[in-house]
């Protein structure tokens, strides 16, 4: 059964707890979402609070995918670019699909929903994201229409002696088919 996506859902305790659970669960199976396992909900809470502050200030938007049971199953944060010369593109952050839902095409669905959400924001022409090298994420994002536009070798230190590239990917929105 497909996920149901909502842009800018009301933020209540259930949503906050669902995102915290998702973020911890994704991290703890090795997901590349800003942490190294093991983590708890309390470890990721400050980062979520930062995203929520951006939402309250109108700088960030939240896209949530709920499963058939109504649980938070996927998220992506769309952060508007505040630089006056770069307001025509936005950042996509914290792209996650719950491990129990992976392998069903929900990642592609999330990326398509994120592109659709970005397309609906006045003046946005492209979506930019970064990903951790060494996990095959570049191939996934490329299969969703993104192209690699930059790479900083060894910029991400996962552990002592385990440095990964920070890969910059770009999706020009005119390259993505509009939903029918």
Which residues neighbour 89 within 8 Å (Cβ) at sequence distance 6 or greater?
A: 81, 124, 125, 126, 127, 128, 170
Predicted local confidence at residue 106, as pLDDT: 98
Predicted local confidence at residue 179, as pLDDT: 56
The pLDDT of 17-33, averaged and rounded, is 97
Residue 93 has pLDDT above 70, yes or no: yes
Q: What is the pLDDT of residues 114-137, one digit of tens each?
A: 999 999 999 999 999 999 999 999
| Residue 78: count of CB within 10 angstroms of its CB | 22
CB 70, CB 62: distance < 8 Å: no
Predicted local confidence at residue 1, as pLDDT: 86
Please tell me the distance from the alpha carbon of residue 152 to that of residue 156, in angstroms, as a whole number.
Answer: 9
Predicted local confidence at residue 177, as pLDDT: 56
pTM assigned to the model: 0.94
Please tell me the distance from the alpha carbon of residue 22 to that of residue 117, in angstroms, as a whole number.
Answer: 21
CB 59, CB 87: distance < 8 Å: no
Could you tell me which of 47, 32, 43, 113 has the C-alpha nearest to residue 74? 113
Task: Report all structural domains of the chain as residue ranges with CATH numbers, in order of start.
Answer: 4-175 (3.40.630.30)
Q: What is the pLDDT of residues 37-83, one digit of tens each?
A: 999 999 999 999 999 999 999 999 999 999 999 999 999 999 999 99
Q: Which residues pair with 5 in a beta bridge?
A: 65
Sign of the CA dihedral 65, 67, 70, 74?
Answer: negative
DSSP string, 78-120: EEE--STT-TTEEEEEEEEE-GGGTTSSHHHHHHHHHHHHHHT
In the numeric block, which tokens belong to residue 163?
């440095």
Which residues neighbour 172 within 8 Å (Cβ) at sequence distance 6 or greater?
A: 125, 126
Q: What is the pLDDT of residues 150-180, one digit of tens each?
A: 999 999 999 999 999 999 999 999 865 555 4
């Amino acid at each position: 059964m497909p996920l149901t996506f909502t842009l800018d859902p009301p933020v209540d305790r259930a949503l906050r707890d669902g995102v915290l659970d998702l973020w911890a669960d994704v991290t703890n199976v090795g997901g590349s979402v800003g942490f190294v396992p093991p983590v708890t909900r309390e470890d990721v809470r400050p980062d979520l609070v930062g995203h929520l502050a951006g939402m309250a200030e109108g700088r960030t938007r939240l896209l949530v995918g709920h499963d058939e049971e109504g649980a938070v199953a996927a998220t992506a944060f769309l952060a508007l670019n505040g630089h006056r010369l770069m307001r025509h593109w936005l950042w996509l952050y914290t792209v996650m699909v719950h491990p129990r839902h992976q392998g069903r095409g929900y990642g592609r669905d999330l990326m398509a929903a994120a592109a659709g959400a970005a397309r609906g924001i006045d003046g946005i022409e492209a979506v930019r994201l970064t990903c951790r090298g060494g996990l095959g994420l570049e191939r996934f994002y490329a299969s969703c229409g993104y192209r690699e536009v930059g790479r900083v070798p060894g910029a991400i230190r996962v552990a002592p002696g385990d440095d990964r590239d920070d890969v910059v990917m770009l999706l020009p929105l005119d390259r993505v088919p509009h939903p029918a």
